[in-house]
Amino acid sequence: MKAAVYSETGAPSVFRYEDLPDPDCRPGGVIVEIKAIGIQGGDTLNRLGGMMASRPHVVGYQASGIIKQVGDRVTDRHVGDRVVATMAFGSHAELASVPAGSTYLLPASLSFESAAGVPIEFGTAADCLFEFGHLQPGETVLVQAGGGGVGLAAIQLAKRAGATVLATASSDDKLERLKSFGLDHGINYRTEDFVARTMELTAGRGANLIVDSVGGKTLEGSVAALAYRGRISWVGNAGREGPANLGGLGQKNASVTGVYLGAEMSVNADRCRKMIEGLLADIARGELTVVIDRTFPLSDARGAHEYIEGRGAFGRVLLIP
């Protein structure tokens, strides 16, 4: 099979497009012939300096495709099934060997491209808002980095749940585009103080819930933008900054919950499966939307990662084998 690989971590230039042996099918797993790869923020962080399972390493947490082979112990998946799969690594390739339990059957009307942007993005957003964020109708939500995959999902889900939705983004153009997905008030973090603007938009109360995928100084600002007894769902360190000072939480009796969908998939697998299957069905019915910014050929994984790291993307960036 062809794969985008690297033997050392670093800038996107470490990628090489090479032939690798086809993966083996484990007794409890399946082989997926990949049709679309949804590049995650974690993929870029792993390439930059994460652990490598082997050398050369195939990075990647999520891809959609067609099951090509089924393990001896698998009874609920069949050759030809259309699925989206999550995995610890291995999505940046033509084939992936994954546990059968890590695959989700696709509704007939859902494209491979849209499916490649669902489980991690929408599942994470749903957990940030509901399972750990305890969002209630009528509350105000601030979504940091609203133009990203989790951000776009969170805006749609929060609006559907009856919240007033605020979001930050790096340009007025992105904020204008977010309005069609449920954004009530946009904040350009390059030209505005998002804490002051949040307080202004909430008549000095602050946001009840903040979804923060940026971390660092932005997370410190999120604490300042919280309402009394507010909650933060902290879901990453996309800003690649050092630890945040969260000393202001106590003055507001507020809380920060670290959210990691991968752990929840392992510990509470049944709940997560039902949630993600429901989200896939909602997207297939057109109730929610996966926004695809650009697609790149798998052979240009370098270009795709460079594009993402340029912070100009609005929605998902995909690789197509």
Q: What is the pLDDT of residues 198-220, one digit of tens each?
A: 999 999 999 999 999 998 899 99
Query: pLDDT by residue (tens digit) across 123-132?
Result: 999 999 999 9
pLDDT at 188: 97
- Mean pLDDT for the stretch of residues 64-83: 98
Residue 318 has pLDDT above 80, yes or no: yes
Average pLDDT value for residue range 293-305: 98
Using DSSP's 3-state secondary structure scheme, residue 128 falls into helix
- Backbone phi and psi for residue 45, each to the nearest 5 degrees, phi listed first: -70, -40
Residue 286 pLDDT exceeds 60:
yes
**Lookup: tokens for 271:** 């709940």
C-alpha separations of 49 from 37, 52, 165, 263 in Å = 21, 9, 34, 21
Q: Which of the four pLDDT bands, split at 50, 70 and 90, describes residue 99?
A: very high
Residue 308 neighbours by CB under 8 Å, 6+ apart? 39, 41, 44, 317
Neighbours of 73 (CB within 10 A): 10
Sheet order of strands, 207-212 included:
185-188, 164-169, 140-143, 207-212, 226-234, 255-258
Q: What is the pLDDT of residues 3-24, one digit of tens each?
A: 999 999 999 999 999 999 999 9
Q: At 272, is the pLDDT very low, low, confident or very high (cuts 50, 70, 90)?
A: very high
In tens, the pLDDT along 25-50 reads 999 999 999 999 999 999 999 999 99
Mean pLDDT on 83-96: 98
Average pLDDT over residues 151-179: 97
Tokens at residue 4, please? 């985008």
Q: Judging by DSSP bridges, how do beta strands 255-258 and 226-234 pair with one another?
A: parallel
With the CA atoms of 249, 254, 259 and 264 taken in that order, what torsion angle do they form, in degrees rounded to the nearest 10?
140
78 phi/psi in degrees, rounded to 5: -140, 155
Rounded distance between C-alpha atoms, residue 241 and residue 232, angstroms: 18
The model carries a pTM of 0.95
Tokens of 290: 């996966």
Q: What is the mean pLDDT of the chain?
A: 96
pLDDT for the residue numbered 236:
79
Least confident interval from 74-83, 91-100, 159-168, 304-313: 304-313
Amino acid at 72: D
